Structure 1
Amino acid sequence: MVRDRDRSPEETAVDPAAEARRLEHDFDPVRPGETFTSAHEEFAELRPRCPLARSQEYGGFWAALGYDEVLSVITDIEHFTTSRQNAVPAFAFTGVRPPLHLDPPEHMAYRRVINQFFIPPRMRALEPRVRAVAVRLLEPLLEQRTVDVCKQYAHVFPAHVFAEFFNLAPETSEEIKRVSGTYVDAIQVLDHATVKSLSGRLYEIAQEIIDARTGGAFDPADDLTAALLAARYEGGPLPAPMVLGCVRQLIVTGMVAPSVFTGTMFVHLSRDPELQDLLRAQPHRIPAAVEEFLRLYSPYRGMARTAREDVVLSGELVRQHDPIALVYTSANRDEKVFPDGDSFVLDRPNIDRHISFGRGTHSCPGAPLARMMMRLTLEEFLARSSSFRVTEEPEMAVWAEWGTRSVPLEIIAG
């Protein structure tokens, strides 16, 4: 923990230096022209001197850049909450969406149901269907000489996987992907009117999914939405508005990160043909490679917590209601935890310490499915190609995600 035990918030409450610090601007999260390396270079420069950095964008917020700082915030539920502002920039204008918007113990009524759909037996049962989706989407691309692996695969794959996981019609899942993509773009430019409008459409889709499951048409043992409807908490069903918010949260959360993360793996492998060849020859090492890719290219930098009260963190006075962005993108390269943190190290000894999926109360329940999607993508792509290379500079996503939006590849088929 890096909470300052030597000074209380009361002792620093009237400190002019602490107030002046709140007006400083250590970095600009919306600076144009981000490249594949620029954000990591900036975070590497900032971490040693201000592991809890300050930005005046998005109304002003703190950014936890150091590993210890991020871990301290996400595990200290006494002083930090997700129920007020859980993302930078703020965009939750249209209702409570469990479990993310709830703190313990209320959130467990929803997590308990969700967690059961990501246990190993369910993932093993789902894997052949996810692999079939990957093969169906990859095979026509591999017949082409040049493709954009993001636009033609990474932006499509999650929607098809969600159709399988949530028992949705493909066209419903594809609409969710289209709407959620535009929704995220609107968040990034603070277009609140569009955010609210598209969020409303996502709520409508969630309600349509719920309506299709009323009357027992879907088995709660096999369908997550039906399981939420069947769940009991404190002697009764989960409140209908909260189930709606939960389904609304679930159908969007897993769409964005795989879309921006997949392309980064291909950029790295394009620049490291020896690693390409190694993973082709030894596909059993692909899971370890995926884990190191997750550490090295963590796609999240805008998830957040809000201070419940004044608290001193790493020597900084964080005021009550101040949002703190959890910059996993930076924390997972912190040299204090991961020596040579900017380099890819296959079979890194302490890889289990990375926090790409968070930690503790609000860790990502869908991590097993995300890992499966990335592993199967590499297994099937590498098995069907001899080599590939990036032909143009990748187009990068902007805050709050980190990753690629366009990666043109030239492929040599296997």
Structure 2
Amino acid sequence: MLTYDVLAPLPEQERQALFARLRAEPGLCRIAPLGAYGAARHEDALALLKDSRTFSSEALAVTAAPPWLGPNPVAESLLTKDPPEHARLRALVSRAFGASGIARLEARVREVSERWADTAVRQGEGDLVEAFTHRVPRDIIGEMLGLEADTFPRFQRWSQGMAAITAAITPAQQEECRAVVREMDAALRAVIAARRRQPADDMVSDLLAAEVEGRTLSDDEVLAFLFLLLPAGMDTTTQWLGNAVLTLARRPEELARARADKAHVARFLEEVLRYEPPSQLSFRLATRDTELAGTRIPAGSLVLGLIASANRDERVFDQPEHFLPGRSKATQHLTFGHGIHFCLGAQLARLEARIALETLVSRVRGLEPLSPTVEWIPSLASHGPASLPLRLVPA
């Protein structure tokens, strides 16, 4: 079995060539420097995500709470739980994250999108991540959690600190991660305590009121979910929108199609999820000696689903290297996961991304890159531009 460093920064063309080579080889690969097994084909990554008994999500708890960090509520969230505890937590959280809760946000998403799109167009040029693709999901998640607007500018530092936990090496990096956990803990516990005293029209109040078979969520369980939701609900949509805007800038014909036909925006965004997924990896831990794709996997091994590779699998997607909005099997990508851990916020993310992009494309007839290169966020598992220097040509 060959070993590859699929996490090393590579030019996109070389990276996709590496994934194609992994898909063509029999069995799984080994991934340096983690020593993990990697599932590069769609069929194998899907099997990994579907079998929660054999491939546990507790791997995320291990990576989220290294010994130097101390307690991290994310390590106790439903993302790291297996059945039956996962089913209980998800049932309770779903009561506050259902269709009615999402529907009441639609008008507010449009209002926030219009405000930041108008601001970006007036500025004419600048970093569109800072001006738009980050600000829309930031404001929405902040309002959902009932946090004060003056805390919103801290969210980016918080999410970066949480994302850096798996890669923090130096004492300074580790202390910054600890500081972020302390700040988030204080801010979110304050909101929980305030909503216990006086419920409001926000998700924290919904979570505290949720009840299934006479059971409710404890404060610590609500805190764990909020620790998970704040960066996950903001970052994934930020990166998805960033990848979408970058694609529009690189493919002016897609911008023209989106401007001419609003229905094209949803098809375009779904293809962005497949072609440039904001979530690149799924971490699992083998609970027993097992076999996947003919490869023996010892109990306790870390196994990664290589989502960015699975989404380009030629066995599933016709012409996978081509960007084809509206393609057949358009929603069979694995970007939102699969099975019991399918992304709980997928519906909200789709709503935010669609409205935000509709709002932006209706205001511009051109997106002109100001730099020939793209600075990507420094993350092992996430994918999106760290900045998007663009000139916006008003419609």
TM-score, normalisation: structure 2: 0.90
Could you say what the CA RMSD is over the residues aligned between the two structures, in angstroms? 2.2
Letter of the 1:86 counterpart = L
Match of 1:55 in 2: 31
Match of 1:300 in 2: 279
| CA deviation after TM superposition for structure 1 residue 315, in Å | 1.8
CA deviations over 1:173-232 (Å, ceiling 9, x no partner): 4323321223324533444443334223322222122111112x115xx43322332344
SS of corresponding position for 1:303 = strand
- CA separation in 2, counterparts of 1:213 and 1:264? 36
- CA separation in 1, counterparts of 2:338 and 2:287? 19
Say yes or no: does 1:166 pair with 2:148.
Answer: no
- CA separation in 2, counterparts of 1:404 and 1:380? 20
- CA separation in 2, counterparts of 1:232 and 1:101? 21
Match of 2:388 in 1: 407
Task: Indicate which of 54, 76, 90 corresponds to 2:51.
Answer: 76
| CA deviation after TM superposition for structure 1 residue 307, in Å | 0.5
Residues 118 and 226 (structure 1), Cα distance of their counterparts in 2 relative to 1, 3 Å cut: closer
Residues 97 and 70 (structure 1), Cα distance of their counterparts in 2 relative to 1, 3 Å cut: same
Residues 345-360 of structure 1: pairs in structure 2 closer than 5 A: 345-360=324-339
- CA separation in 2, counterparts of 1:68 and 1:196? 38
| CA deviation after TM superposition for structure 1 residue 50, in Å | 5.3
Task: Indicate which of 91, 94, 110 corresponds to 2:64.
Answer: 91
| CA deviation after TM superposition for structure 1 residue 279, in Å | 1.0
- CA separation in 2, counterparts of 1:155 and 1:281? 25
Q: Is 263-272 or 170-179 further displaced after alignment?
A: 170-179
Task: Indicate which of 319, 323, 338 corresponds to 2:317.
Answer: 338
- CA separation in 1, counterparts of 2:12 and 2:191? 38
How much identity, in percent, do the aligned residues show? Answer: 27
**Which ranges in structure 2 are unaligned for 5 or more consecutive residues?**
none
Residues 133-152 of structure 1: pairs in structure 2 closer than 5 A: 133-152=112-131
Task: Indicate which of 343, 355, 360 corresponds to 1:376.
Answer: 355
Letter of the 1:198 counterpart = V
- CA separation in 2, counterparts of 1:348 and 1:233? 40
Task: Indicate which of 188, 195, 198 corresponds to 2:180.
Answer: 198
Match of 2:375 in 1: 395
Letter of the 1:45 counterpart = R
Residues 409 and 357 (structure 1), Cα distance of their counterparts in 2 relative to 1, 3 Å cut: same
Match of 1:115 in 2: 94
Residues 253-272 of structure 1: pairs in structure 2 closer than 5 A: 253-272=232-251
- CA separation in 2, counterparts of 1:266 and 1:231? 37
Residues 75 and 41 (structure 1), Cα distance of their counterparts in 2 relative to 1, 3 Å cut: same
Whose helix proportion is higher, 1 or 2?
2
Match of 1:10 in 2: none
- CA separation in 2, counterparts of 1:371 and 1:153? 16
- CA separation in 1, counterparts of 2:241 and 2:214? 43
- CA separation in 2, counterparts of 1:38 and 1:185? 25
- CA separation in 2, counterparts of 1:272 and 1:251? 32
Residues 74 and 365 (structure 1), Cα distance of their counterparts in 2 relative to 1, 3 Å cut: same
Is the contact made by 1:73 and 1:80 (CA closer than 8 Å) also made in structure 2? yes
Q: Is 382-391 or 41-50 further displaced after alignment?
A: 41-50
Residues 411 and 131 (structure 1), Cα distance of their counterparts in 2 relative to 1, 3 Å cut: same
Number of matched residues?
384
